Structure 1
């Protein structure tokens, strides 16, 4: 699968809010997920290594939500081994109230699998 094909698959599934399928099917076993340094102030781990740990991080995020009011994913931009999307979410969290989140996600694809993701917000 080319990077553009992976980007298109990611976009299709993200628009359906189906991140579990994205991670199950398309993440490499040794995937690395990187959050910005300031995420540590919210108690988040900056670097998460391994598919099961990244999936657990996603599950913890979903569990922290009370209501997902809306979410969107921009069409991807791809070049070389990388693609990026803009992710927007309107969420009410159990302990923080309602917030609007916007982030850029950059993903690296090698041998048809996502080997890294990094978020900027």
Structure 2
């Protein structure tokens, strides 16, 4: 698959709540994930670690009120999109989170993802 095809499939899967399927289908076994400093998992390496990070986030969610994923922007071996979540995390007030997501594709698989956002205060 081309970077554009991977980007479109990634967005499609995430729009329908199939986050784990996106990991299974589109990510390299040695993929890396980078989150902002101060988040529970700033760095994860390997597909199993990315799945675990995704599962841990799911356990923090009390209620997902809505999620939007923009169309991807593709350039060379990279694509980006924005994600917006209207979410209530356990023990916290309802929050509107917005992030820029950047992905690198090599040999038909996503090899890295990096998220840019201001983490909610965990207090």
Question: Please, what TM-score do these two structures have when normalized by structure 2?
Answer: 0.92
Number of aligned residues: 117
Q: Secondary structure at the match of 1:53?
A: helix
SS in 2 for 1:30: strand
Q: Note if 1:89 corresponds to 2:93.
A: no
- Tell me how far apart the structure 2 counterparts of residues 79 and 33 of structure 1 sit (CA, whole Å): 20
Higher helix share: 1
State the Cα RMSD in Å.
0.8
Gaps of 5+ in 1: none
Deviations 1:14-67 (Å, cap 9, x if unpaired)?
111211100011111000000122xx1x4x121110100011000000111011
Gaps of 5+ in 2: 118-123
Deviations 1:51-106 (A, max 9, x none): 00011000000111011000010000001110000000000111222111100000
The list of structure 1 runs, each at least 4 consecutive aligned residues, that deviate by more than 3 angstroms after superposition, is none
* TM-score, length-scaled by structure 1: 0.93
